[in-house]
Amino acid sequence: MSQSFTSDDYSAQDGADAYSDDIPDAAFEADALVPASEPSDVVPMLVGATVEAVERELMLQTLARCDGNRTHAARVLGVSVRTMRNKIKQYSADGIEVPASG
């Protein structure tokens, strides 16, 4: 079932889980929330990276796990859909490939 959402459908006051039924079950599975690598492997990858680079990678990987669905990815990350849209626009302008909605 496909739904479209407007900014009126969700706001920060509603809480992060206000629409948890709309988020794919896979986003809540243990595999989706746990890094694919051991923490000792992940931390060295983060050391020396800018916060901007880490944020970008987190947003893009979450978007990919949500099959390109910006609304779901924004909810999983706890950011507004507008923030997600603006970041995606920025990444695209920088020539970074963004997962398409699928």
Cα–Cα distance, 68 to 84 (Å, whole number) = 11
3-class state of residue 35 by DSSP? coil
Per residue of the chain (102 residues), what is the pLDDT tens digit? 444 444 444 444 444 444 445 555 555 454 555 555 665 666 666 788 899 999 999 999 999 999 999 999 999 999 999 999 999 999 999 999 999 887
Structural domain boundaries of the chain?
Answer: 24-93
Query: 91 burial class (0-12, 13-18, 19+ CB within 10 angstroms)?
Result: middle
> Cβ atoms within 10 A of the Cβ of 28, count?
11
Tokens of 33: 């929330």
* Homologous superfamily, domain 24-93: Homeodomain-like (1.10.10.60)
pTM: 0.58
